[in-house]
Amino acid sequence: MLRTALSALLSLEDDIDVVGSAGDGLEGMELTRQLKPDVVIADIEMPKKTGLELANWIKDQKLATRVIIVTTFARSGYLRRALDAGVSGYLLKDSPGDVLPDAIRTVYNGGRTIDPELATQAWSEADPLTDRERQVLRLSAAGLTSSQIASKLNLNDGTVRNYISETISKLSANNRIDAARIARDKGWL
């Protein structure tokens, strides 16, 4: 719905043409390859392929296409990963409606547009979690007990508790629930 609505919004601008519209990340790649647009607008959380994967793919293919991420999530971890993937813009869905056309123009002319709210806190903290820790924390956040996580990952019960204990202290959280909440908020999960 947002997609069609944004198409409608952008069609009203004289200097912007909407050349295509994709329902998921994979379709997005396909269309980008075929149409070679100047600018791609993508969400992060999409079916099949995320917006970050799409951006990385565009970077790897060395296409001239620039990427603007438009997403719901004001998470510094997302922004950081997006910038690593070479995107030119990162906007929030709840920013005023007229910023998108402006952002497209800026980016088309080689500039960058980062949501001001996020730009400041972006480089404040790096993700301190290791892959294993993240993985364990994710399962824990899904409501599994330590032993369930252990058997799912073929680990020892105590090992899992160690990982969780590590994440709790790294994130200075109260407990595993708190740790998961903090990691999620920062975009580290």
- Residue whose CB is less far from DNA, 50 or 140: 140
- 151: contact with DNA by CB under 7 A: no
- Residue whose CB is less far from a copy of itself, 64 or 98: 98
- 152: contact with DNA by CB under 7 A: no
Q: Which residue has the tokens 């790649």?
A: 29
Other CB atoms within 10 A of residue 51 CB = 27
Question: For residue 32, what are its two tokens?
Answer: 């980008």
Is 172 within 8 Å of 183 (Cβ atoms)?
no
Least Å distance, CB 141 to DNA, is 11
Question: For residue 77, what are its two tokens?
Answer: 């971890």
C-alpha 53/C-alpha 81 separation (Å) is: 10
- 47: contact with DNA by CB under 7 A: no
- Residue whose CB is less far from a copy of itself, 56 or 75: 75
Is 43 within 8 Å of 6 (Cβ atoms)?
no
Question: What backbone torsions phi and psi does residue 69 show, to the nearest 5 degrees?
Answer: -90, 130
Find the binder of DNA among 16, 119, 141, 155 (CB under 7 A).
155
Range 120-149, binding DNA (CB under 7 A)? 130-133, 140, 145-147
Can you give the binding site for a copy of itself, defined by CB under 8 A?
Answer: 1-9, 12, 70, 72, 91-100, 140-145, 148, 173-182
C-alpha 78/C-alpha 185 separation (Å) is: 10
- Contact residues: DNA, CB under 7 A: 130-133, 140, 145-147, 153-156, 158-159, 161-162, 164-165, 168-169, 175-177
